[in-house]
Amino acid sequence: MKLISSGFTDGQPIPGDFAFCIPDPAHHVCLGCNLNPQLAWSDVPAGTRSFALICHDPDVPSQGDDVNQEDHSVPASLARVDFFHWVLVDLPADRREIAQGEFSDEVTPRGKPGPHAPHGARQGINDYTAWFAGDNDMRGDYYGYDGPCPPWNDEIVHHYVFTLFALDVGRLDIEGKLTGPQVRAALQGHVLAAATLIGTYTLNPAVRL
């Protein structure tokens, strides 16, 4: 199976149109367009009954002490953890594309609704749900896609891993808010094939993509 995007090529930078935040000289960052990228796939295995999609960033700091702090940087040596940006399941087996902006076309304070999604699919909550939990203006359940917004003082480039899974079931046996770890666990034993597309992003002007 092969996964491609018209917005960026594998291993290359993700355009700011697909980001939650973009660089801003006066304030370090400002809100971006937050469009979900176009994705298309081919060479689907026989017996596929649905698709699932996960986008995660494996480069998120494991500790937040220095995150977005003036006169500090997040060291490259710091241990990193996963941050889920998009969890989508039950996408019909006859689909071969997700259109740009089809699942997200702006930043939605307090999060987009869910779990219902286009084409009868279900979308889970992403990790902005936990990130904004203490923010009175932004907290809520962030369903669907929300794009990159890595720390503006991080010393490393972040990688955004889009993985499409072809499954042998039409509906994944999982209920509730559908977090990234829960979906990963539910996929076990049902994956016929998987394809990955990776984009890079940084908000730190001192770091080159």
Q: What is the dihedral of CA 186, 190, 193, 194, to 10 degrees?
A: 0
Q: Measuring CA to CA, which residue among 125, 201, 123, 100 is closest to residue 160?
A: 201
How far apart are alpha carbons 146 and 179 in whole angstroms? 14
CA distances to 15, 57, 84, 140 from 64, rounded to whole Å, are 26, 16, 17, 20
Largest CA distance in the chain: 55
Number of domains in the chain: 1
Which whole number is the average pLDDT over 121-150? Answer: 97
For residue 59, tell me if it sits in a domain. Answer: yes
Contact between 103 and 143 under an 8 Å Cβ cutoff? The reply is no
Q: What is the pLDDT of residue 208?
A: 80
Query: Does residue 147 lie in a domain region?
Result: yes
* Token pair listed for 37: 């990228």
Contacts of 99 by beta carbon, 8 Å cutoff, 6+ apart: 38
Q: Own/partner pairs for 98-101, CB < 8 Å, 24+ apart?
A: 98/36, 98/38, 98/39, 98/40, 98/53, 99/38, 100/6, 100/7, 100/35, 100/36, 100/37, 100/38, 101/35, 101/36
Going by pLDDT thresholds of 50, 70 and 90, the confidence category of residue 2 is very high
User: In this structure, is residue 47 part of a structural domain?
Assistant: yes
Dihedral sign computed on CA atoms, order 201, 202, 206, 207: negative
Rounded to two decimals, what is the model's pTM? 0.97
In a domain, 186, yes or no: yes
> How far apart are the C-alpha atoms of 127 and 132, rounded to whole Å?
9
Q: Residue 167 in contact with residue 49, Cβ under 8 Å? A: yes
Domain membership flag for residue 207: no
Quote the domain boundaries for residue 181: 2-201
Residue 209 lies in a domain: no
For 43-99, what is each residue's pLDDT tens digit? 999 999 999 999 999 999 999 889 999 989 999 999 999 999 999 999 999 999 999
Length of the chain in terms of residues written: 209
Give CA separation, 80 vs 61, 64, 83, in Å.
5, 11, 10
Q: CATH number, domain at 169?
A: 3.90.280.10
Asked whether residue 75 is domain-assigned, the answer is: yes
Asked, for residue 208, whether it belongs to a domain, the answer is no
What is the residue-averaged pLDDT of the chain?
Answer: 97
Position 190 confidence tier, pLDDT thresholds 50, 70, 90: very high
